[in-house]
């Protein structure tokens, strides 16, 4: 099925769709599943799921994300994005094709009665809106799609890992991500009389530098908490102290328990740092996603399956990433694991995700498909 799957991936790649607008992608996946005699079910809006195998057996869920990014593609490939300003720059076209390919093969294999086959039931989940917050994983959970599942797995393209390889890790493999917004208020005034004003710009500068530094002393360093500011705004004139200033940034954390309390600590520290300067503060921490916390038993199953069908040297220890991934919400409902899927041509260039020049080695489609089929069948 290699040629068909590569052609399917290229079609998706040429027609990317943004989060919650994945209408064509949903239709293409659904049509191919129906052609294989399967019965895909729609999710709310876009996306779908589909069961294969014995209805009474425990469910193993395989998840793909189907949305693209607001990024302009610059690869020059013959099947490059035909939609201006939108591209599959994170590899979701590969994820979708891999889960589709696994489903098509499992539809054949689970329909056969061969010696030693135990009852199996596989649920394919084609999730929309991974790239936005709140993401589509919450919709999948709310719709009850994970009910009855005893394991859930996902693969994510890794352009730093050679094709044919899989990166895995027990515990946190990706970080929690929250959005932080801080607004400081003061009376303002003239810069010639800063002692008669609340020197708001100076107070902002103290928050920028001191809050991340103070967090290191308030939180267990093993939690790997990182607060990085991406936006600062205040004032319009060189000789006027403004009455309002804004900070926005990203708060990331590798530990689920710390993630539950870190927002309160940020608010406390902002107030403590800024109040001596006579300003008041408003802090809003908008929850994004928790860490992807891989289950040890499911990682073991994944690694055993990979070594069985991809080779004894196919598995390596994945680096932890401070990027967010809404597959984390699945793992709060069902034990499972996310693994890295190598997409780099051996000896070739190392690309980066979320960049318009991303190119993947398409042999990764077959690698990912074989791995997910092996996982679903319990091959070890």
What whole-number distance in Å separates Cα of residue 164 and Cα of residue 102? 16
Does one domain contain both 59 and 157?
Answer: yes
Q: What's the CATH number where 194 sits?
A: 3.30.70.360
- Preceding omega of 134 cis (within 30 degrees of 0): yes
Does one domain contain both 121 and 256?
Answer: no
What whole-number distance in Å separates Cα of residue 65 and Cα of residue 281? 38
Does one domain contain both 213 and 323?
Answer: no
Does one domain contain both 15 and 77?
Answer: yes
Please tell me the number of Cα atoms within 13 Å of 293 on its side-chain side. 17
User: Rounded to 5 degrees, what angle do the CA atoms 289, 294, 296 make?
Assistant: 160
Local confidence pLDDT in tens for the 380 residues of the chain: 999 999 999 999 999 999 999 999 999 999 999 999 999 999 989 999 999 999 989 999 999 999 999 999 999 999 999 999 999 999 999 999 999 999 999 999 987 766 666 789 999 999 999 999 999 999 999 999 999 999 999 999 999 999 999 999 999 999 999 999 999 999 999 999 988 899 999 999 999 999 999 998 999 999 999 999 999 999 999 999 999 999 999 999 999 999 999 999 999 999 999 999 999 999 999 999 999 999 999 999 999 999 999 999 999 999 999 999 999 999 999 999 999 999 999 999 999 999 999 999 999 999 999 999 999 999 88
Does one domain contain both 188 and 317?
Answer: no
Supply the DSSP symbol for 239. T
Domain boundary among 259, 289, 319: 289
Strand order of the β-sheet with 244-253 is 226-234, 244-253, 176-185, 280-289
Does one domain contain both 144 and 214?
Answer: no
What whole-number distance in Å separates Cα of residue 361 and Cα of residue 343? 5
What whole-number distance in Å separates Cα of residue 297 and Cα of residue 281? 45
- For 141, counting Cβ atoms within 10 Å of its Cβ (0-12 exposed, 13-18 middle, 19+ buried), the class is middle
Q: Judge whether 338 and 294 are in contact, CB under 8 Å.
A: yes
Does one domain contain both 119 and 189?
Answer: no
Which residue segment(s) compose the domain that 42 sits in? 2-174+291-377
Query: Which pLDDT does position 117 carry in this prediction?
Result: 66
Does one domain contain both 205 and 109?
Answer: no
Does one domain contain both 209 and 307?
Answer: no
Whole-number Cα distances in Å, 377 to 22, 103, 113, 308, 336: 30, 12, 13, 12, 15
What total of structural domains would you count in the chain?
A: 2
Does one domain contain both 215 and 349?
Answer: no
Does one domain contain both 231 and 345?
Answer: no
Q: Which residues contact 194 (CB under 8 A, 6 or more apart)?
A: 202, 241
Supply the DSSP symbol for 40. -
Domain boundary among 263, 289, 315: 289
Q: Judge whether 123 and 103 are in contact, CB under 8 Å.
A: no
Query: Which pLDDT does position 86 carry in this prediction?
Result: 98
Does one domain contain both 34 and 144?
Answer: yes
Domain boundary among 231, 259, 289: 289
């Amino acid at each position: 099925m290699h040629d068909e799957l590569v052609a399917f991936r290229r079609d998706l790649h040429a027609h990317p769709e943004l989060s919650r607008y994945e209408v064509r992608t949903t239709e293409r996946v659904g049509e191919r599943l129906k052609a294989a005699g399967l019965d895909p079910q729609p999710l709310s809006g876009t996306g779908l799921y589909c069961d294969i195998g014995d209805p009474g057996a425990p469910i193993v869920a395989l998840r793909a994300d189907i949305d693209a990014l607001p990024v302009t593609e610059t690869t020059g490939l013959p099947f490059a994005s035909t939609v201006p300003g939108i591209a599959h720059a994170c590899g979701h076209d590969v994820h979708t094709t891999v889960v589709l390919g696994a489903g098509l093969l499992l539809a054949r294999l689970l329909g056969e009665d061969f010696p030693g086959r135990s009852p199996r039931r596989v649920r394919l989940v084609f999730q929309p809106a991974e790239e936005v917050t709140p993401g589509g994983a919450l919709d999948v959970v709310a719709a009850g799609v994970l009910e009855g599942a005893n394991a859930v797995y996902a693969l994510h393209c890794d352009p730093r890992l050679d094709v044919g390889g899989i990166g895995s890790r027990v515990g946190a493999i990706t970080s929690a991500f929250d959005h932080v917004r801080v607004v400081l208020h003061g009376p303002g005034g003239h810069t010639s009389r800063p002692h008669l004003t609340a020197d708001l710009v100076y107070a902002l500068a103290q928050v920028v530098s001191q809050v991340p530094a103070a967090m290191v002393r308030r939180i267990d360093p093993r939690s790997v908490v990182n607060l990085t500011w991406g936006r600062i705004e205040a004032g319009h004139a060189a000789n006027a102290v403004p009455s309002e200033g804004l900070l926005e940034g990203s708060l990331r954390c590798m530990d689920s328990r710390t993630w539950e309390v870190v927002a309160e600590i940020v608010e406390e520290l902002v107030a403590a740092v800024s109040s001596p300067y006579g300003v008041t503060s408003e802090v809003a921490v908008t929850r994004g996603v928790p860490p992807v916390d891989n289950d040890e038993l499911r990682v073991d199953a994944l690694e055993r399956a990979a070594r069985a069908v991809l080779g004894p040297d196919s598995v390596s220890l994945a680096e932890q990433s401070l990027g967010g991934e809404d597959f984390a919400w699945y793992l709060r409902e069902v034990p499972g694991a996310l693994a890295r899927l190598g997409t780099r041509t051996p000896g070739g260039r190392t690309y980066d995700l979320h960049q318009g020049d991303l190119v993947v080695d398409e042999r990764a489609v077959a690698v990912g498909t074989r791995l997910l089929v092996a996982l679903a069948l319990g091959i070890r």
